[in-house]
Amino acid sequence: KLLPSIVPAAWKATAAVIFLHGLGDTGHRWIEAFAGIRSSHIKYICLQAPEDEPGIKQAAENIKALIDQEVKNGIPSNRIIVGGFSQGGALSLYTQKLAGVTALSCWLPLRASFPQGPIRGANRDISILQCHGDCDPLVPLMFGSLTVEKLKTFGDPANVTFKTYEGMMHSSCQQEMMDVKQFIDKLLLPID
């Protein structure tokens, strides 16, 4: 089991962001990106996937265990955002009982097994930020657009934001990371 990369909160952590990388990438690369946009009260955790990627169900269970650990550490689940890039972003859409989800350059896999109709309970009002480059050759923009339309059917469509970035391929850019920071800071305000 590989250890995650962590940017600790500058003070006591009152919120957490758990981020999942895509295939062929590492958590170490993403931790550098989050270190550049960090907020002092938030702990950033970038998971490092093993070489033999587990299936979605196993990976979702691993993420749930990490969320449970953060809750035991004193961070309520409604102060945790799970996000990811590409396959990691797709997986983040399957997490539950969170403050929000941020999904970068991803799609909704296993659409047929995803819940149908409006979501009830804790996730009904979850905020989702999905970002996508308009020149992505690996996950075409159309897949991102279809995913966002599906996500809007589960709860309040006003809680689902879709941002596109002109000329961006299957990668990230400074403007996208600033939009992610704004999304995180809006949902995870400092607690006195």
Q: What is the mean pLDDT of each run of 10 residues along the chain (192 residues)?
A: 82 93 86 93 86 63 87 93 88 71 70 53 78 95 92 88 96 96 95 82
- What are phi and psi for residue 5, nearest 5 degrees? -90, 140
β-pairing, 100-104 vs 80-85, is: parallel
Let me know if 86 is a catalytic residue: yes
Catalytic: which of 77, 145, 170, 185? 170
Q: Are 140 and 124 in contact (CB under 8 A)?
A: no
- pLDDT for position 123: 62
Catalytic hit among 5, 86, 92, 105: 86
State the Cα–Cα distance between residues 88 and 186, nearest whole angstrom: 22
How confident is the model at residue 1, as a pLDDT? 53
* 192 among known catalytic residues: no
Q: Residue 52: its pLDDT value, please?
A: 57
**Domain range holding 79?**
5-188
* Cβ count within 10 A of residue 110: 11
All residues at 6 or more sequence positions from 47 whose CB lies less than 8 Å from its CB, including other chains: 4, 18, 19, 20, 21, 27, 62, 63, 66, 88
pLDDT at 138: 93
Whether 170 is catalytic: yes
Give the Å distances, CA to CA, from 33 to 27, 66, 119, 132, 172: 10, 21, 32, 17, 9
The pLDDT value recorded for residue 161 is 95
CATH code: domain of residue 81: 3.40.50.1820
Q: Give the number of domains in the chain.
A: 1
What is the model's pLDDT at position 125?
A: 78
